[in-house]
Amino acid sequence: MDTRLEGRIVCITGASSGLGRATALRFAASGARIVCADLRQAAEPVETEIKQKYGDDRAIFVQVDVCEESQIEAMIKKTVEWAGRLDIICNYAGLATEAAHDPRQRLHETSTADLDKTLAINLRGVWICCKYAIIQMLAQEPLPENARGERTRGKIINAASMLGLVAIGGTPNYVPSKHAVVGLTKQIALDYAQDRIHANALCPGFIDTPLIASLVADPEAKKQLAAAHPWNSLGKSEDIADAALFLASDES
C-alpha cells in the first residue's frame, strides 16, 4: 500500500479530465484527501470514484473558473474549511485554442481574442492560484518533520509543457503561455525556498487527453503527431500523474 501522501490535503484544478483526473486518482491512492476543482463536473465525477474507493471524507468537488480571482480565492477558502489546511496545489486547468483550428494558424492569422483567452487560463489563472495557495501556506504551520528532518509548508505543481521549453509550428498562443508558466514556477521556487514552499513545473510532450482530442481525431494525424516523439507514441495521463506524485511526496 502506497502511503506517501497519507493525510495530505491536495487541491487540483482541471480535475475533471485528463492529467487532473489521473493525478487526483493517483494521489488518492497514496492517501491524500483531494479537492477536485474544475469549471464543470464530469459525467462520471472523479470525486465520486475516490469516495467509493476510499471513503466519503477523501474528496469533494469545487466549481471554479480560473479566470475569476474571487472564485480562486473561494476555492482555497473552501479547501481549508473542509480539511483545515492546504499542503499541495496542482494547477492543471488549461486550454489550447490552436487545437480547434485546422490547419493550425500562424501568429498573423490568429485572433487576439484567442490569445487573451489562452493567457487568462494558462498563465493568469495559474498565477492567481499560486498567489492564494502561497498566502495559505505561509499562514499555516509547516508539516511535521520528514525522514530527513525537514519541514515543508507546501508544494506547488504547475502544468507547463514541452512547449514551455521549445516551440512547434502553429501554436502562437499556447507556446508563449507555457513558457511563461515555466518562468513563473522558477520565480516562485526562488522567492519561497526560504519559506520551505516547493514549486515545480511538469513539461510533458503531447498527452492523449481531451485537450488535443480534435488534433488526433483523424488516425493519420494522430500517427504523425506520435511520430514527432522519440518514443513514437503519445503519452498517457497516468505517466504524468506518477511524476507529480514524486514531486508531491517527501522524496522530492
User: Exposed, middle or buried: residue 199 (CB in 10 Å: 0-12, 13-18, 19+)?
Assistant: buried
Catalytic residue, candidates 54, 92, 132, 174: 174
Q: Is the omega angle on the peptide bond into residue 230 within 30 degrees of 0, that is, cis?
A: no
Round to whole Å and give the CA distance between 224 and 232.
Answer: 9
End-to-end CA distance of the chain: 19
Residue 160 CA to its chain's centroid (Å): 8
Active site residue 192: no
193: amino acid identity, one letter: A
List the one residue out of 145, 37, 135, 27 whose CA is nearest residue 86.
135
- Tell me 123's DSSP state: I
**Residues designated as active site:** 174
